[in-house]
Amino acid sequence: MTQWIDVGAIADIPRQGARTVALGGHDPIAIFRTLDDRIFALVDRCPHKHGPLSQGIVHGHAVSCPLHNWKIALATGEAQDEDKGCTPTIPLRLEADRILIGVNAGLATAA
């Protein structure tokens, strides 16, 4: 069963920016806002060398890892172009201007 946790307002995240959310015992979660106001959530680690994706550059619906410039699709967590790998996505939903992330057994296995 999914528990939904309010992690803040959309306005708390700048366009083309990110913020992190820490849940005890798990990798931090990066919440991204794109220029067109879409919101995505990923575990905050690149599948390559575990760089902090929240510190990368958001462009379109992707983020570039700050360590080695791997491009990660925000919707799927998949590495793009010739790179291979995937970072786990986190379920989220919007209620008015609030961002809620889903926490369940799947999150525990993603960490």
Tokens of 51: 């760089």
Three-class DSSP category at 54: helix
C-alpha 76/C-alpha 72 separation (Å) is 8
The pTM is what? 0.88
Question: Mean of the pLDDT values across residues 84-100?
Answer: 95
Q: Using CA atoms, how far apart are residues 7 and 11, in angstroms rounded to an integer?
A: 12
Q: Is the pLDDT of residue 27 over 90?
A: no
Domains of the chain and CATH, by start: 3-110 (2.102.10.10)
Residues 34-47 pLDDT 10s:
999 999 999 999 99
pLDDT exceeds 90 at position 74? yes
Tell me what pLDDT residue 25 has. 74
Q: How confident is the model at residue 108 (pLDDT cuts 50, 70, 90)?
A: very low
Beta strands in the chain (DSSP E): 3-9, 17-21, 29-33, 39-43, 57-59, 62-64, 71-73, 92-95, 98-103
pLDDT digit string, tens, across residues 49-62:
999 999 999 999 99
Q: Which residue, among 64, 39, 62, has the nearest Cα to 53 in the 3D structure?
A: 64
